[in-house]
Structure 1
Amino acid sequence: MINNTNLPKAYVTLVTNNSYIKGAIVLGYSLRNYKASHPIICLVTSEVDPAYIAQLSKLFDQVIKIPKLDSHDSKKLDLLGRPELGITFSKLHVWNMTWLSQILFLDADTLVLKNIDHLFSQYENTHFAACPDIGWPDCFNSGVFMCKPSRQIYSDLIKLSQDKGSFDGGDQGLLNSYFNTWSKDQNQRIPFTYNVTPNAVYSYAPAYQQYQSDIFVLHFIGNPKPW
């Protein structure tokens, strides 16, 4: 595993297709607006039109084309109610970005409300950290996570995806299976305020009212999206 802290750190997002362009642009602007001090990188698959890639290149420090990875697990994706999430396996390429020492990954449907640079130092000694998922809090939501790129972990994840697949058909189930000590290790838990899902089926309205000023990141899961 790469432990060289002299390597740069970065914010990374992923655009799997044209429908996430607007979200990625809003995310990029929100990171700029709150003075993110690390480079902002956008990964794109072959399903993103060149004209949109050019648009992203004006905002992000780097736009990197990656091979598309897809679970092709329609049965589990139907159970999840998100048939479009098979392509999120492309997120695994984050662990192959070994020229970086640390990555804060943000889904393209997240919105940053405050500066979150402090997460890099707070989780500097942790190989992986994420926020609880509102639907099953003993699992993490893979829309926001901190990780350290590693060719070994990348290889492990690719092998796991090929051998066993994901219990939900998307990247979140696969990552929860691999990082399966997350629920027992407080050092790997990022507070929910860094991945708040206001449009989830269930929400605890009094808590939203009480802690709304503490929210750092909103995550617009599912459909419809604000854009």
Structure 2
Amino acid sequence: MASRSLNSNQKLFAFSLILLSLPLIILVIFFGPKSNNVVDTLKLETDEPQVFTYPRWFDLIQEEIQEEIKGKKKIKVGLVNFNDEEIEYNMHGLVVSTVHVRFNNVSKARKWEDFFPEWIDEDHKSSLPPTCPEIPMPRLEDYRDLHVVVARVPCEGWTGKAGFRDVFRLQVNLVVANLLVGSGWVTPNVKRAVYAVFVGGCGPMPEIFRCDDLLRKVGDHWVYMPELRRLKQKVLMPLGSCQIAPPHGKTGKKDWRYYSTDHKRPNAFNPREAYVTDAYVCGAIALAQSIIQSNSNRDLLLLHDEKISPKSLTGLKTAGWKIRQIGRIRNPFAKKNSFNESNYSKLRIWLLTWYDKVVFIDADVLVFRNLDRLFVYPQLSAASNDRTLFNSGIMVIEPSLCMFEDLKVKSFRVDSHNGGDQGFLNEVFTWWHRLPTKVNFLKCFEGKESYRRDKIPDDVYAIHYLGLKPWMCYRDYDCNWDMKEGQVFASDKAHEKWWQFYDAMPEKLQQYCWLTEHMKWRINKGREIARNLSLPDEHWKNAVTDPRQYNLVQ
């Protein structure tokens, strides 16, 4: 009997203990500490019982994908240019998993010059149009649902002191860009957020991945959330200057465009765009008038320093320019008081961030046909100069504060191959998009090109007056003929076209192109030297009828 009573008391004690513990259990369940850490969530989701480990790239990206993780969505990550043996970059669980992106490496026999030749058959005089060598891409349909792409960037040979022209690096960047567009672009109006993490000290190519899209940089890891509209246009462009860049991307794939040419269409985005130049006063006045006469309705903005006189500013405003004074930017590699000491001032065009797109035009250019279609092209689009380089006399850029800061920093490390802004920009923007030669027809006729000096195409869009400018000569002939070393820039046909335009300008603007005493002396001195050398072209024999020789200005 006593035993039965003891057993009953034990059961009663156990039952009382459970009742007393129940409120505590409820408090712990509903009010205890809850982890908001994505990694803790991943630990709960994984099937593996051991301690969860994760790579560095995940540390940097987890904030961006936290909502997906909390929603228990499957996060797929593509690994580019990693070996299967590099297990420290892999992740496999119920929430996050990695997949190696497979593609054939571009041939090591391919050189940068293969993709950026000095000359291509723009006019299709041969039976076949120009083509680019192949850069293999992965089977994009196998990787359509990636959330993140992690890529090791090839940096072998990179010094940071010169342009990095490496074909395999270009391939890796294009593979990442295509994967992101393929996974993130659903329709022109529906896009899914996708991210890229680049591993490597040299970072991704700034021509493809904009600094504006950089979320963070930690050590040699760079995290980007690209704007897919811009990135899609990039992947539709040719692989280099081996082909002319089409204005709308490839045929039938125009839905990347961020605005419609039909501005009456609902929801069409009207971009803010402008032509920008710096000051040769006479040249800039003629340039403004030529753009206006081409029926362009874009803004005209001129950047100038404190050296431009009030009278000249009046003329520039009358011609059509909006005026903005800037401080000069010194070329760190230039000697003091040299001609190129302050020629990095052109970099300030990247500060014009109230514009979405800018077409910069040198003030020694004259426009003959409307150039507004250039605003459709991406940064950096330009016509070819020589070798693998572009000419910066007409170029399409996208203003960006971080790009300006990056250019300023690089200007102290990266030297210009020609001492000027064009040489420097070619070292920064090694991957660029080729505009037709007739968009920026260079008045330069070396070697076999000499026959072209009097055969300027009728359909030329703009002539770039290299060498001595038309207003620096008598109107009777191109005074580049008077210097043996300057004759590569001589063209009576181009000279005549400029003066025909001058004659059509309002008289109140013509006066800004008159001669000074010093300019007249220099022209006559050149004629005298040419006469003494008996230069065979014999332009020095031409009689001078230019009335400006009698109406000199101060």
Pairwise TM-score range, normalised by the shorter structure: 0.7 to 0.9
Q: Deviations over 1:10-47 (max 9, x none)?
A: 011111xxxx1111111011111111120111111122
1:145 equivalent among 389, 395, 405: 395
Measure how far apart 1:6 and its partner are. 4.2
Tell me the distance in 2 between the aligned counterparts of 1:149 and 1:159. 17
By how many angstroms is 1:58 displaced?
Answer: 1.6
The correspondence for 1:65, drawn from 322, 325, 330, is: 325
Alignment match of 1:105 (pick from 347, 355, 360): 360
Residues 34, 114 of structure 1: 8 Å contact kept:
yes
| Counterpart in the other structure of 1:79 | none
Q: Do structure 1's residue 217 and structure 2's residue 462 form an aligned pair?
A: yes
User: Residue in 2 aligned with 1:176?
Assistant: 426
Matched AA of 1:128 = L
**Partner residue in 2 for 1:191:** 436
Q: 1:130 touches 1:190 (CA, 8 Å); kept in 2?
A: yes
Structure 2 counterpart of 1:119? 374
d(CA) in 2 for partners of 1:203 and 1:215? 20
Q: Does 1:13 align with 2:277?
A: yes
Distance 1:74 1:203 in 2: 33
> Is the alpha carbon distance of 1:166 and 1:215 closer, same or farther for their aligned partners in structure 2, counting shifts above 3 Å?
same
- Out of 204-213 and 48-57, give the one that drifted further: 204-213
Q: Which sits farther off after the overlay, 5-14 or 97-106? A: 5-14
The alignment-based identity, stated in percent, is: 30
Higher RCO (C-alpha 8 Å, min separation 6): 1
Amino acid across the alignment from 2:322: Q
Match of 2:240?
Answer: none
User: Structure 1 residues 165, 205: closer, same or farther in 2, change over 3 A?
Assistant: closer
Paired residue type of 1:91: K
Q: Which digits, 9 at most, give the CA deviation of each residue in 1:152-173, with x for residues without a partner? A: 1111111111233422211001
Question: Structure 1 residues 56 and 137, CA, compared in 2 at 3 Å: closer, same or farther?
Answer: same
Is the aligned partner of 1:40 residue 2:300?
Answer: yes
Give, as a single letter, the amino acid of the residue that structure 2 aligns with 1:219.
H
User: How far does residue 73 in structure 1 lie from its aligned partner after superposition?
Assistant: 3.8
1:116 and 1:110 mapped to 2: Cα distance? 12
Contact kept in structure 2, 1:197 and 1:220, CA below 8 Å: yes
Q: Please tell me the root mean square deviation across aligned C-alpha atoms, in Å.
A: 2.4
Alignment of 1:152-163 (within 5 A): 152-163=402-413
Instruction: Give me the whole-angstrom Cα distance separating, in 1, the residues matched to 2:424 and 2:440.
Output: 19
Evaluate the alpha carbon distance shift between residue 6 and residue 151 of structure 1 in structure 2; reply closer, same or farther with a 3 A threshold.
farther
| Contact 1:45-1:65 within 8 A present in 2 as well | yes
Residue pair 1:7, 1:99 contacting (<8 A) in 2 also? no
- d(CA) in 2 for partners of 1:30 and 1:41? 14
Q: How many residues align?
A: 206
CA distance in 2, matches of 1:137, 1:208: 21
Q: Say which SS state the counterpart of residue 189 (structure 1) adopts.
A: strand
- Give secondary structure in 1 for the equivalent of 2:389: strand
Q: 2:381 aligned to 114, 124, 129, which one?
A: 129
Shift of 1:210: 6.6
Query: 2:332·2:411 contact (CA, 8 Å) conserved in 1?
Result: no
- Structure 1: any 5+ residue segments left out of the alignment? 76-82, 183-187
- Residue 185 of structure 1 corresponds to none
| Residues 190 and 24 (structure 1), Cα distance of their counterparts in 2 relative to 1, 3 Å cut | same
Normalised by the size of structure 1, how large is the TM-score?
0.82
1:88 is aligned, of 310, 331, 343, to 343
Structure 1 or 2: more strand by fraction: 1
Structure 1 runs (4+) greater than 3 angstroms displaced: 1-7, 72-75, 199-203, 205-211
Pair member with larger Rg: 2
TM-score by length of 2: 0.35
CA pair 111-85 structure 1, distance change in 2 beyond 3 A = farther
